[in-house]
Structure formats: structure tokens, C-alpha cells
A and B are shown apart, each in its own frame.
Chain A
Amino acid sequence: MKMKSPILLLTDDLLLKIISLLTDDTDRKSLRSTCKPFLHLDSLLRTHLRLLHPDFLPSLLPKLPSLSSLDLSVCPRIDAAAVSLLLPSAPRLTRLHLARCSALPPHSLRALATACANLQTLDLSYCTSFGDLEAAAISAAACLRDLNLDKCLNVTDVGLAQVAAGCPELERLSLKWCFDVTDIGIWFLSKKCLHLKRLDISYLKVSNESFRWISGMEKLEALQMVGCGSVDDNGLLHIANGCASLKVLDISRCDRLSMDALCSVIHGHNRLLELHAGYCFPELSMSFVDQLKDLKSLKMLRIDGARVRDSMLKFISNNCKCLTEVGLGKCRVTDTGILHLVTGCVNLKVLDLTCCSDLTDSAILAIARSCRDLLCLKLECCNLLGEGSLNHLGSHCRFLEEIDLTDCSGINDIGLKYLSRCSELVSLKLGLCVNISDKGLSYMASNCSKIRELDLYRCEGIGDGGLASISRGCKKLKGLNLSYCDGVTDEGMAYLSSLEELSSLEMRSLRNITATGLTKLAAGCRRLAELDVKNCKGIDDSGFWALAYYSRNLQQINLSGCAISDVGLCMVMGNLTRLQDAKLLDLARVSADGVEVALRACCACLKKVKLSASLRRLLSPQIIQTLEANGCKIRWD
């Protein structure tokens, strides 16, 4: 008999308790890969599952007794057959994520909604072909509380009424980009769904009338109305006089609103926690700033795009001491303004200063000194910042997780050396920083091992050496942008291949990459889900063969402008069974027949494809019809 490991002598209860303390996904993965007993215990605990292919459903579901949340949004194609696999365990599901599952026919959606008697959260966002039939199907899930219908383009008032009448318990509803929903639908919603707490009607073409009805929703806490271009002050005044529980208001990009109307909203709701008013007003008015003093508990304020005077920022900082997030993108604030702001708002965690190009190192010094808890700083296009700024940040902001330095031409290797002291960094954006080199990257890589997202777009000084240090230091890297970094060669790809977590890689126009490099990459990075090799002319078919062979998890691919042939394309499209999104423009070596065969090969899983307009006549109408019927969106360019 084999000797058991001592840890397995513990009872299952104790082990479960220990395992439940592991929160990180990768740690859990390591655990369950260790041995079968651990796998078993882990599956007992598992409540959430994100599947890559529906075929796993029948084998996995019985093994996961506590599963209550299922995410099928990254599956290639969810159809009636997949749903029938799901039905037996449907009653225990409370959350279901079906984003981009356009292929689901209404009758199986109805069957699913009926079977999921305890379903509370349903996400159908970006099912662009969904309409009233599907909405009617959802309405069978009577205890639904949270529903996301973003970009279900064909949902009209009728569908909304079906949902509102069928699911009276709804608390959160998102109707973003449901362009066909009008005032009357909102009216009906306000009559039937009395428990609504969160409503997103962004980009709807609703008029002021809708806001009269919304103002009657007593429990509404968050209202997102981004880009409602038909709403003017009268609509906002309805909100000012109603919505007693309102805490979050997003009126970004509503360009017909005036500051006065917003003032009256604030006047009526002094318990607001978040106010998003980006790109609404050309300039902030003093009366508005004065009104802000009522909002003692305001946590988030975004006023991007509005000109702000220094005195106003002083006023804000004196009155809204609780602010943790401030958005001042394109507000053209000055150093003095920032100084005023941070003296009061010392709790700032997120600060967006995108395109505030007048800022200098002294502003960053002020921020770094005052806001020790800063987590996220966006400084895109702040050209005057130099290494001094990063020095201050590195010395004071030890918790910084995210920094955006895109297009900050003053950033150099020394600056990165300073910045590398922020060892908690998760996301680093250095796009268009032409003055950094491999040396700078090596500083970052050696100290910031937690980096998951790195943007090196057009960092022309970067070569294989930088990638070598990254691949050594940042083992957790998930997303990398190397587009137009001409210095990168196959050798660099070989380094990258050691990044097991890498799932998204953008490498446009890397002329020095050949099939060898791509092969190495594909063989190493097995988790790769998104790949953009647009205009990588050096890669030939053998590289794509390797891709087709290894990258089984690939979901999105951009092959535009590549030297791929008919066979290569068919190989890629046919063998990558999880491919959902393909961009296939300017393929000089691919014939129309080749595209046809390739599309045929993957028409069952493809959700979105971009083709050149000239192919429209050359492809058979049959394949186009089939694609569209499968819920695939074709964009002709």
C-alpha cells in the first residue's frame, strides 16, 4: 500500500477549512493539481465555474455539489444542446453568465429560465441579436434580481415589459445600448419593478418623460444615464425632486444638461456617494462647486473635460474630505490646483489626470506626499513629468497598483528605477514612452513581480533583453502589448514563452518575428486567449500551424495583413475550436475559397468576424446565412 501524505490524515472538514482560506485562483489551481484528494476537496468547495467549452458540462456538474454560479461567456457557442446539458443541475444555479451567447434560441432560453428556479443573477450582455422573444423567455425566471441586457439590440419596450411583468423582484437592471427602449417602457418598468435599486439606461434615446417615471422609483440607489442625448435640464429636475434613495448618479456625456440642474439634484440628494459628470460641461461653475459642500460623504467625483479653476479645487478639497476617487481628465488643472486638492483630500485612492499636460513634477510631489494610500494614478499625456515625479511616487506611494504613463515622453530608465520601488504594481502602461530601454524594464521586472498588465506600445527602445528580464521577473503577466516594438525578435518570443499566465498578447507589425518565434510562443503560453499579429509579415504558414496546434484556448485572433495562406488559415480556424472572434483583413495570399472553407470550419463557434468588403460578393450566401443564424456578427470593412 502506498504511504499517505501526513496532511491527508487530517479530516476532510479541517482540510476544507484550510482550503477555504485560499483566495487566489492560481493557488487554488496549484492545490487541485497536486493530488486527487485535493481535487476532490476543492470541487466540494467550488461555487463558481467559468467554462471554456460546454462539452465539459455533463462531466463537471455532478462533481461540483456546491456550484451555484456558472459563467459560459467565454464558451465558443452555447446552443440548445449545451443548454440541455445544463438543465439537470439548473435548480441550484443562482448566477448565470451568458454574455455573447447570441446563438441561444429563445425556446431553450425559456427552458433554462424555467428550470433555474432560484436564478437571481443573469447576464445576457452583448447578445446582440437578442430581442423581445428572448426577453419574454427570461421572464420565466420569476425571482430574478439582477439582469444585464447590455447591447441586446433588438429588445424593445415589449420585451422590457415582459421582463418587468415577469420579474417583479428586479433590483438591478442594465439596459445600456438597448436603443429600442423608449419612454413607455421606462414608464412600465417604474410601475412594475418597485424594488429597483440600480438602473442603467446609458445611451438610450429616452426623453425627459422617462425621468419623470424614474424619479418615482423610491428605492433607486444608482442611476447610470451616460450619453442620454435627448435629456435636458427638465429631465434632470425630475430626478432632483424624486429618487429619495439615490446614492450614485452618472450623467457623463449628457451634453444638454446645465450645471444649474445638476446643482438642484445635489441640493435634493445630499447623501450622494458618487457623482460622474465627465464630458458634460465645458466649464465648472462656482455655484456647482459651492453646492458640492452639501455632499459631505461624497466618495467619487468625476468631472472630466470641464475646465476647473484652482480656487474651485481648493473649495472641493475643503468640503469633500471623504473623496477617494477624483477624475480630472482633460480638465487642464495646474500644479497649484492639485496642491489645493490633495491638501484636503488625503484619502484619495484613484486620481485620473489624463491629458493635464500642464502638470509638473511638483504636482506629483504634492500628490505623493499627501495621498499615501494612492492605488491608481493616471498621467497619460502629461508631457512635463520627468524622473523626479516617479522618484516621489516610488518613495511615498508604496501601495500604488496601477499607473498609466502613456505618452509621457519625460519618462526614462532612471525614472523606472525609482518607480520600481512601488512593488505592488499590477498594471503599468508605458505606451509611447520612447525614452525607455531594456535597462529600465529590467529594474521594473526585478522589483515588481506582481505586474499582470504591461503596455509597451511603440516603445521603440525595447528589445529582446527587456522581454528576457520581464519573463524572469513578472511571472504573473497576463496582458502584454508589444505592438511596433521593432527591436523584438524571435529570441524575445522565446523568453515570453516562459510566461505561463500570459493570456493576451498584442504584437502588431513586429517585422522581425518569424514562424520560429510564434511557434515558441504558442508552445509555451498555453493560456493564450487573445492574439493580435496584425501585419507581422515575417510569419509564414508553419508558424500558424504551430498556433493551430498549441493554442487551443485562443478566443480572439487578428490575422490581418499576415502572410498566411489558404491552408494556414483553414488550419488556424478549423483547429482552434474556441475561437470566437477573428479579424481577417488584407490577407494577400488567401483566396475567397480559402476564406469560405475557413469560415465553414469554424462557423459553429465564431461569434464575430471581420472580413474585407470585397469578399461579400465572393463568399457564398449560404455561409453568410449560416454564420448569421449561428449568432455570428460579420463586419465588412
Chain B
Amino acid sequence: MDPDEKLCAETWVKSSSGHESLNTDSNNRPFTDFDRHHPKWEESPFNGCGVRTLGQQFSGFEGSFASDVDSQRQKKDLHGKQIPEAHESGYMQNWDPSAMLNNLLFLEKKIHQLQDLVQLVVGRRGQAMNQADEILVQQQQLITADLTSIIVQLISTAGSLLPSLKNSESLASQLGQFGGIATQLAGVTDNVVPNKMEDRHDPTGVSEDHDGFKRDANLRMHMRGHGDEYKTPAALAKPHKESSSDPIFIKRYSCPYVGCKRNKDHKKFQPLKTILCVKNHYKRTHCDKNYTCSRCHTKKFSVIADLKTHEKHCGRDKWLCSCGTTFSRKDKLFGHIALFQGHTPAIPHEGAGAWPSDQGQSRSEATNKVEQLDFNSCQGLMEVERSGDDPSNYFSPLGFDTSSLAGFQEFPRPLFEDAESSFSFFLSGSGDYSPKNGRYAAPNDLE
């Protein structure tokens, strides 16, 4: 036995112990509390993933198994529910204890019947893997039919337990709240998902999948995977109200890791939609990350597909936030900085090759050059100052061919005019001209 099975057993114990507390539920919205006290999460043998079924007769044993359990719970629920109602009800006078006792005995019998059936299911389950699909389907249908009839009886009897019509109506409405289909007895439902959850996963009927699609195109793409027969307009059409009278199955999965938000025991439980989701979620969240990106050697993943996705754009994330997060797209970066106070788009320094424009780099290089040049001119200035007042000295570093530029001179400035140096002409020119040929000399040739 693997640990999953043990988990499964534990759950069963838990669920049975949960029944007692139900009695206190008498308000209009019993679901939340009910959910908390009454886990109906079956741990499936798949890799430690919980399976939860809404409705019955899904495409295999799990379905009937689950609905079976559901009905059991439902029945217990009704049973428990009735007592507090009787206490506070004003219709106690019409109450016939002996009839009720008969009914209860009948219910007990039926419960045993159900238990047997479930045991049968559990017994067959081991062989199920080896059997052909058709046989499986047949068996499932048989069991479903049995179950249905038993449950119908159960519920009608349970209804007759109620002392007055009004009370049974209120029960019916409660039933309606539970299952959403009060009249559909077969649909003994397990409405554990809070209403807003239901809203989110709007089931736009794909007959087998319960994924909703907002766009037609997405639905068609999805349906390709199911084969050609699903490509007809009828299959693609939005299911009618009538067809929704067929039980709607929404499977939800729980992560086996206790304390995880994806675990059913979590207060704000968020179920997982598919078994694959469970798998990936578990690996990503609760397992070691063994796959390291071969390019950046920093990013690690536990799901190989994630690694591949990362490798596709690794090193190409050119949009960088001041917090160090990189983004492949500008709008993603801006969305990020808009969200977090104090974050700004980072401007990489020179050498950051990934940045789209290297303008900053080239400019800073140029600035360096300028600084060099300025340095040269400073040297020139010192030279000029040292050379004293003789204006002819000013000319020497200029390097003009004196024959063509004869008579060039610097004007003396009145002192009051500017505080600035009067050497400015020579400053810039002096550094790089050699006196002889007017060509540029290397900075080293200055002295």
C-alpha cells in the first residue's frame, strides 16, 4: 500500500466524524460550514491527487464511486438536518413518531444496500485497469441505475419524514441549494464549491470536458484534440438549458500537501482543474528544482516544460526593473512598475549588451575622450602661463602655417570685462597641433 491509500483512509475517517457537527447547521447558508466540517474529498490513487466529483456517473468508476459517497453523505445530511428543524418548528403537533421510525428503518436498509454496492465498486476497482472499456462502461451503467433507484427511494422517504408540507418545501429548497437541481433526484450533488467559484468556471458545455471557452476559436482549437466528430456545429454550439438538466460534472482536484492553498483543508482553498495541474503544481511548489537553465545558470525549475519555456527567452529579457526583475515585454515591465511603489524601469549602464540601444554607451565613451582632451588643454594652459607675457608664445602651440595665417593674434582684454581666462582660444587648439606641419600630434607629443 502506498501512502496515498493511507491518506484516502484517513479522509474517510475524517468524513464520518464530520457528520455529527452537522446538526448545528440550521441557517440559510449551510454550505460553508458544511464544507468545513464535512470533507468529501476522495483521495484518488493517482499520484496523491484528490478527486472530487460533482454529480454522478462520470466516465468511469470514480464517478459512480464518488456519487455514491455523495449520496451517502447527502442522506446523512438530511437525516441530521431534520432534527433541529423539528425542534424549532411550530408543526411538531402533526408529528407521527411510529411512521418516522418505519421510515428510518427503511432508510437504514437502503443505506446497507448502498454500502454493498459501494463495496462492489471498490472490489472491482482493482480489476478495472485490466478490463476492456466497453465492459467497464456496461458495469458502470448498471451500478448507476441501481444507485439511482436507491437514491430516489432514499430521498422520497427522507422527504416523508418531514411532518408538514411546508417543511418539506423548505427542505426541497435546501436541497435545491445543495444540488442546484432539486427535482433531479439522480443528480445528488455535491455543491462544495462556493458560488463565486462556480461563476468563475462557467461550464460551457463540451460534452466531456468541463472547460469553458470565452472565444469560439479557442473552443474549436480545443475540440481538435477530441477528434473529428466534435467539429460539427452542434457539438460546438452552446449547450441548451435542457441539456444542462443532464448532470453537470465539475471535477476539482486537491493538492495532497497539507497547508497548501491548493489543499482542500485550506481556508481559502483553490481547487486545481486537471490532474496535470495537480502534477505540475505539486512539482513546482513542493518539490526540489532540479533543472537548471544552461544559459544563465541561475534559474531553476522542477518542471521540464518550464525550463524549455524559459530557455526560449533566456537572455532576451531586455526590460529591466530597478528591483532586478526582467521582462521580455515593455508593457509587462510597465505594468510591474505601476503596481509597485518605488520601482522604476532601470537604465543599464554601459556593457549591458542586452539593452536595445547602446547609445548611452557610445556617449560615455565620447565623454571619456572629451575629458582626455580637456586634460590636454589644461596642460596647454599651464604651458602658456609659464611662457610669460610674450604674445608670440601664444602662437607656437597653435601650429598654423604662419605664412597663410599671418597676423593672427589674441586681443588683450580689459580687466573688468570678464573673469574668464583670456587664453580660451589657445586652450582648445593648443593641445593637438604640432607647430611644424599643422598636423595633429598625439597627446604624448605635447611636451
Contacts and interface: CB of A to CB of B under 8 A. Distances in A.
Contacts of B133: none
A162 B347 contact: yes
B446 to A, nearest CB: 15
Chain A interface bracket (under 10, 10 to 19, 20 to 34, 35 or more): 35 or more
Contacts of B410: 574-575
A187 B333 CA distance: 13
Nearest to B404: A566
B337 A630 contact: no
Nearest to A60: B419
Interface of A: 53, 55-56, 59, 105, 129, 131-133, 136, 139, 154, 157-159, 161-162, 165-166, 184, 187-188, 191-192, 548-549, 552, 566-567, 570-571, 574-575, 577, 591, 593-594, 597, 600-604, 620, 622, 625-626, 628-630
Given A131-B360, A593-B438, A620-B440, A626 B419 contact: no
6 pairs of A and B residues whose beta carbons are closest in the complex: A574-B425, A629-B366, A158-B345, A600-B429, A55-B420, A629-B370
Nearest to A53: B420
Interface in B423-445: 424-429, 432-433, 438, 440
B178 to A, nearest CB: 45
Contacts of A53: 418, 420
Given A53-B420, A161-B337, A567 B347 contact: no
Given A55-B420, A549-B411, A165 B337 contact: yes
24 contacts: A129-B363, A131-B359, A131-B360, A136-B344, A139-B344, A157-B345, A158-B347, A162-B345, A184-B330, A188-B338, A552-B417, A552-B418, A566-B405, A574-B425, A575-B424, A591-B404, A597-B433, A600-B428, A603-B428, A604-B424, A604-B427, A625-B369, A626-B370, A629-B363
Contact of A56 (B405, B407, B419, B428): B419
Contacts of B373: 626
A159 B344 CA distance: 9
B123 interface: no
B442 to A, nearest CB: 11
Contacts of B359: 131, 154
B429 A630 contact: no
Interface string B21-32: 000000000000
Contacts of A620: 440
B362 to A, nearest CB: 10
B137 to A, nearest CB: 54
Interface string B392-419: 0000001010001111111100000111
Contacts of A133: 347, 360
B366 A601 contact: no
Nearest to B401: A593
A601 B425 contact: yes
A618 B39 CA distance: 88
B424 A577 contact: yes
B367 interface: yes
Given A132-B360, A188-B337, A630-B370, 14 more contacts: A55-B420, A136-B347, A154-B359, A157-B330, A161-B334, A165-B342, A548-B411, A549-B411, A552-B418, A574-B429, A600-B428, A604-B427, A629-B366, A629-B369
Interface of B: 330-331, 334, 337-338, 342-345, 347, 359-360, 363, 366-367, 369-370, 373, 398, 400, 404-411, 417-420, 424-429, 432-433, 438, 440
B408 A571 contact: yes
A166 B425 contact: no
Nearest to B420: A55
Contacts of A577: 418, 420, 424
Nearest to A549: B411
A274 B438 CA distance: 61
Contacts of A158: 345, 347
Contacts of B433: 597, 600
A567 B398 CA distance: 12
* Centre residue among B342, B418, B420, B428 by max chain A CB count within 10 A: B428
Contacts of A626: 369-370, 373
B431 to A, nearest CB: 9
A567 B405 contact: yes
Contacts of A566: 404-405
Contact of B344 (A105, A166, A552): A166
A405 B331 CA distance: 52
A575 B367 contact: no
A610 B429 CA distance: 20
Given A567-B408, A620-B440, A161 B425 contact: no
Contact of A162 (B344, B398, B400, B418): B344
A622 B345 CA distance: 35
Given A131-B360, A161-B345, A629-B366, A601 B429 contact: yes
A105 B344 CA distance: 21
A577 B419 CA distance: 12
B89 to A, nearest CB: 57
A189 B172 CA distance: 57
B34 to A, nearest CB: 43
* Centre residue among B343, B404, B417 by max chain A CB count within 10 A: B404
Nearest to B344: A165
B434 to A, nearest CB: 13
A288 to B, nearest CB: 37
* Centre residue among B345, B359, B417 by max chain A CB count within 10 A: B345
